[in-house]
Amino acid sequence: MADVSVVEERLDSAHTDVAAQIVRGDAKAGMLLPLFGAALAGVVALATRPVPFAAELLLWVASVPALAAVVLLLNVVRPRFGRDDDYGFVFLSGFAGRPSELLAALAEQPGEMAKAVDTVRLALIADSKYRRVRTAVDCLTLALLLVAAALVSVAVA
């Protein structure tokens, strides 16, 4: 069986890493949202003048993955609060004015077990955020390619 101090050290490291990954996921989403503005700028630039039907069609098609990407990225940074969560600041805020009840609730679960449970929950949140960011990147890439194709069709027309 592993030494308890080694387990605690690995758990602390995992918890810190997972919490940092959540912050990175939010930062990536915040960085990618302006790319929607780039796609939108291309659409607006082309929409201000008459364009061939093919370009107009490409722009309308490009709007679908662009909007999907924005929804996904906003969903990444959207806070989620569960009513029945027994961890996090929402849980702790429920004990406002009742610190002795908070101490009793925290004493019910051993520290190492509580941290392990919290680490797994945070890992699930980080995984979910990264999956949405990856899908949003794919959608934005498709939208930008379609806008580029529309620009090419305008240039050759």
Confidence of residue 94 (pLDDT cuts 50, 70, 90): confident
Percent of the chain residues topping a pLDDT of 70? 94
CA–CA gap between residue 122 and residue 26 (Å, rounded):
13
Task: For residue 141, give the nearest of 50, 80, 56, 69 by alpha carbon.
Answer: 69
Per-residue exposure over 100-127, b if at least 16 CB sit within 10 Å of its own CB, e if not: eeeeeeeeeeeeeeebbebbeebbebbe
Domain range for 70 is 4-156
- At residue 81, the pLDDT reads 75
**Does the global pTM surpass 0.85?**
no
Domain count, the chain: 1
Q: How many CA atoms lie within 13 A of 28 on its CB side?
A: 20
pLDDT tens string 24-59: 999 999 888 887 777 777 677 777 778 899 998 998
For 7-17, the pLDDT digits (tens) are 888 888 988 99
